[in-house]
Chains A and B, each alone.
Chain A
Amino acid sequence: MRSVGRPRIGVVVGLLLLSGAVHASDVGRCGVCHSDIRVQFDAGIHKSEGFACVNCHGGNPASDDMKIAHGGSFKGVPGRREIPPLCASCHSNIELMKPYNLATDQYALYQSSQHGRLLAQGNPDVAVCTDCHGTHEIRPRSDPQSSVNITNIPKTCGRCHSDAKIIAKYKLPSDPSAEYYGSVHAAALYKAGNLNSPDCSRCHGVHGAAPPGVGDVSKVCGQCHATARRYFDMSPHKEALAAGGNPECASCHSNHAIAPADDKVLETTCHSCHEPGSTALGVATQIEAEIARARVGVREAEKLVEEAEEVPLEVDDYRSRLEDARTYLTEALPVVHSFSVKEVRDVTGRATSISEEVSVEVQEKIDRLRWRRYGLIIFWFYILVTIALLVRWRYGLEKSAPGAGA
């Protein structure tokens, strides 16, 4: 808060310079010497919006005499603590950002973030704007090459948060980026291409990045996992975890390395709190059994339907009914968070009853095929009588003309 004066001057200077730069989109002669930086700058979004070196660095862009060019208002490389106010000089300006439909509260959010607070305390390690967005080659978020594109965010954050030195210095949880890459969220993002899958910023915030507080975890996760959260809120775990000061979702699912929700979670995680033989573990086992029963039922019905299709029999209706059963099965997974056998059974029971119905009816259809075999018995009866008749006729033929038979 000591440096309040300087950003204000910066804002004024920036505005003045920008007003000139917008008209003369010439970036000046800086690139004559700083050709490598010029190349980077040209690739970014600022170049195409008519921004120039002078807007951040000052000096006289019209001259290639170093004394003149680096004279006057020249600022050189801005210090780390000067960067956020420098960027904010434009990006917090409502008038300037209006045509781009960009938010202007990033600077305020940044100041509220863990990064911003530590920077204000004089910590030079924390991220400033350029650490995430790049210095000269700043690309928009929609550009897949951008360091802040959703697919690159885990890597960008990991530049610091997975750096062994920084991890050691601040005693951070070990390597969140690597953990994230192994998670179900990363699989959804990278393998299934689901851009709705969360990156780091979805849970931690973008410019206001901060670790969610213990009580906020379920709110953060619940944004997407609304159903799971609703059932969790009904469960006895909610108060118990809050009383113990434990995070709600992460206690079982961990924070970054979130594994796919399967039966293993029930099996392994429950033991970490509950004693073997306790009623709670009994409930867990029962829930597990309910889900397993429904899953086996659906799988058996699917197998029967496949078998019938191989004959082939007409089973399209059963196929779509199984779709319903499968939906109930998937629906049961969020319901597990209620930790109530009754709630789970409500859903899995429907899956089980549908798949049982389908199994019985398809089996009946398959069994009806035995009529083909019954038909075969009648057919053979006919065949045998026919052969008997033919043999009798041949016998008659030979008898009527003795001596001709061989």
Chain B
Amino acid sequence: MGDARTRAGRVLDWLEVRLNITEIFSFLTNFGLFTAELDTKKPLRSALDEALARPMPSYARWPRVLGILTMLLFLLQCLTGTLLALYYRPTPEAAYDSVRMIVRDVTLGWFVQQVHFWGSALLIVILLIRLLRFFYDAIYKPPRELLWVIGFLLFIATTHADFTGKVMTFDSRNYWSATRSLEIFSHLPVVGSLFVFLAGGGDLSEVTLVRFYLAHIFILPTVLFILFYLHFQGVRHLGLSHREGEQSEGGRLVYHRYLLNLSILLTVVFALLVTVAVLLPHPFAAPPDLLSTPAGARPPWYLLPVYGFFEILPRWVPMPFKGSIVVLLGVGICILPFLDRSAPVQPSGRRGVIILGAMLLLIALLLGVYGYRHA
């Protein structure tokens, strides 16, 4: 093994003469695996030694993995998505057949498709959990305001990626689910109408499908990639968040332990993802019938609170008013760091804000259940 290590070292030396490996590595650190500053003028190994010699308190604890987890899930989505794109045909006539071919005729196609489907749901859930954790630990106080905004935008962009991806299967359930979601969108002033405009109108024509396809495989991944870059860049610049009074410890060992912990967590998450994909396959329905809406065609789950909100208010409340409330709330969450300007304190000192957030979350959950029942 020692022999192999030196051989790898020799390759690295050979490359080091020809490329600035440290700079390449330091670019990769923008995606969360390594969050310390590197001196790009030094060779990689000494730069790493130097960085690891500094104390890295944040690696000592568990929750720091959520960021890297979302990034890795995003990469998994890119991979499975690329595989799916090999067979997918983005026209209304061919879309259904091509998806059916993937899940029916291609070897393990069903597996790739299910992992892509559940991976997307998991990604949204983890981004959401991460936002909640940011909120609870007040990781939006100066100078970390932008981390919150970017985290929120990541969540929004990922739901869009999930939504456009669902439409692309073009089976009856997703077709109708998307039609109803577009209806919800059209009631949201400014942002919603802009989305519907960009989607090419309220009904799902071939124009919409091609635009969704392009958004799904190119525009949204690019946006997500940029957001991830900005986010991890900010994290690297500011250092990982840590609560006040946390122990300062560091060194190579802490980092190694962190990597092993991360690997264990990744293994568990991957195992759960595969298990869910095999045991709870998302069913593939019949081709869309424009005249009948099948039972169970609901908006995607992340839209259900909005749907429930629209439904639970009496009919005489004008739609634009309901829509405005939702949009204002969304904008409010997005610019939370600029609204809550109290000094950064421990969670115990921000009880009022946390209770308010918890109530909002509970209301959203209840509205979601209501929307699910009434969809």
Interface residue ranges, A against B (CB under 8 Å)? 310-314, 372-373, 375-376, 379-380, 383, 386-387, 390-391, 393-394, 397-398, 401, 404-406
Residues of A within 8 A of B103 (CB): 312
B267 in the interface (beta carbon within 8 A): yes
Q: Assuming A310-B283, A404-B253, is B267 touching A375 (CB within 8 A)?
A: no
CB within 8 Å of A: which B263-286 residues: 263-264, 267-268, 270-271, 274-275, 278-279, 281, 283-285
Q: Assuming A310-B284, A387-B268, A390-B263, is B60 touching A379 (CB within 8 A)?
A: no
B92 in the interface (beta carbon within 8 A): no
Are the CB atoms of B271 and A314 closer together than 8 Å?
no
Are the CB atoms of A312 and B278 closer together than 8 Å?
no
Distance between Cα atoms of A52 and B254 in the complex (Å): 113
Nearest B residue to A309 via CB reads B286
Residues of B within 8 A of A394 (CB): 257, 260-261, 264
Are the CB atoms of A401 and B253 closer together than 8 Å?
yes
Distance between Cα atoms of A376 and B279 in the complex (Å): 9
Are the CB atoms of A383 and B257 closer together than 8 Å?
no
Q: What distance in Å separates the Cβ of A214 from its nearest Cβ neighbour in chain B?
A: 49
Are the CB atoms of A390 and B260 closer together than 8 Å?
yes
B180 in the interface (beta carbon within 8 A): no
Instruction: Tally inter-chain residue pairs, CB-CB below 8 A.
Output: 58
B256 in the interface (beta carbon within 8 A): yes
Residues of B within 8 A of A313 (CB): 104
A387's contact among B105, B264, B285, by CB below 8 Å, is which? B264
B104's contact among A314, A391, A393, by CB below 8 Å, is which? A314
Q: What distance in Å separates the Cβ of B39 from its nearest Cβ neighbour in chain A?
A: 24
B100 in the interface (beta carbon within 8 A): yes
Are the CB atoms of B274 and A376 closer together than 8 Å?
yes
Distance between Cα atoms of A157 and B65 in the complex (Å): 86
Distance between Cα atoms of A375 and B256 in the complex (Å): 32
Distance between Cα atoms of A406 and B246 in the complex (Å): 12
Are the CB atoms of A383 and B260 closer together than 8 Å?
no
Q: What distance in Å separates the Cβ of A277 from its nearest Cβ neighbour in chain B?
A: 47
Are the CB atoms of A406 and B60 closer together than 8 Å?
yes
Distance between Cα atoms of A390 and B270 in the complex (Å): 15
Distance between Cα atoms of A311 and B105 in the complex (Å): 12
Are the CB atoms of A397 and B278 closer together than 8 Å?
no
Q: A383-B268, A398-B257 are in contact. List 4 more A-B contacts (CB 8 A).
A: A379-B274, A394-B260, A397-B253, A397-B257
Are the CB atoms of B271 and A391 closer together than 8 Å?
no
Cβ-closest 10 pairs across A and B: A383-B271, A394-B260, A404-B253, A312-B104, A390-B264, A376-B278, A390-B263, A401-B253, A372-B278, A386-B267
B254's contact among A372, A380, A404, by CB below 8 Å, is which? A404
Are the CB atoms of B278 and A391 closer together than 8 Å?
no
Are the CB atoms of B271 and A380 closer together than 8 Å?
yes
Q: What distance in Å separates the Cβ of A142 from its nearest Cβ neighbour in chain B?
A: 34
Are the CB atoms of B105 and A314 closer together than 8 Å?
yes
Q: What distance in Å separates the Cβ of A48 from its nearest Cβ neighbour in chain B?
A: 43
Residues of B within 8 A of A380 (CB): 271, 275
Q: Mark B93-111, 1 if CB is under 8 A from A, else 0.
A: 0000000100111000000
Distance between Cα atoms of A175 and B139 in the complex (Å): 86
Distance between Cα atoms of A313 and B110 in the complex (Å): 10
Residues of A within 8 A of B261 (CB): 394
Distance between Cα atoms of A35 and B196 in the complex (Å): 62
Distance between Cα atoms of A393 and B258 in the complex (Å): 12
B251 in the interface (beta carbon within 8 A): yes
Nearest B residue to A394 via CB reads B260
A390's contact among B249, B254, B267, B285, by CB below 8 Å, is which? B267
Nearest A residue to B274 via CB reads A379
Residues of A within 8 A of B60 (CB): 406
Residues of B within 8 A of A398 (CB): 257
Are the CB atoms of A397 and B260 closer together than 8 Å?
yes
Nearest A residue to B260 via CB reads A394
Nearest B residue to A315 via CB reads B104
Residues of A within 8 A of B278 (CB): 372-373, 375-376
Nearest B residue to A401 via CB reads B253
Most buried by A among B267, B268, B270: B267
A310's contact among B251, B270, B279, B285, by CB below 8 Å, is which? B285
Are the CB atoms of B271 and A379 closer together than 8 Å?
yes
Distance between Cα atoms of A312 and B285 in the complex (Å): 9
Nearest B residue to A306 via CB reads B286
Are the CB atoms of A393 and B251 closer together than 8 Å?
no
Distance between Cα atoms of A386 and B271 in the complex (Å): 11
Nearest B residue to A312 via CB reads B104
Distance between Cα atoms of A375 and B108 in the complex (Å): 12
Are the CB atoms of A391 and B264 closer together than 8 Å?
yes
Distance between Cα atoms of A34 and B278 in the complex (Å): 85
Distance between Cα atoms of A62 and B100 in the complex (Å): 79
Distance between Cα atoms of A375 and B254 in the complex (Å): 36
Distance between Cα atoms of A398 and B254 in the complex (Å): 10
Residues of B within 8 A of A406 (CB): 60, 249
A-B contact pairs, 22 of them (CB 8 A): A310-B285, A311-B104, A311-B284, A372-B278, A375-B278, A376-B274, A376-B275, A376-B278, A379-B274, A383-B267, A383-B270, A387-B264, A387-B267, A390-B260, A391-B264, A393-B260, A394-B264, A397-B256, A401-B253, A404-B251, A405-B257, A406-B60
Q: Mark B177-206, 1 if CB is under 8 A from A, else 0.
A: 000000000000000000000000000000
Residues of A within 8 A of B274 (CB): 376, 379
Q: Assuming A394-B261, A404-B254, is B267 touching A312 (CB within 8 A)?
A: no
Residues of B within 8 A of A376 (CB): 274-275, 278-279
Nearest B residue to A403 via CB reads B253
Q: Mark B293-316, 1 if CB is under 8 A from A, else 0.
A: 000000000000000000000000
Q: What distance in Å separates the Cβ of A395 from its nearest Cβ neighbour in chain B?
A: 10
Residues of B within 8 A of A390 (CB): 260, 263-264, 267
Residues of B within 8 A of A397 (CB): 253, 256-257, 260
Distance between Cα atoms of A406 and B57 in the complex (Å): 11
Nearest A residue to B262 via CB reads A390
CB within 8 Å of A: which B301-344 residues: none
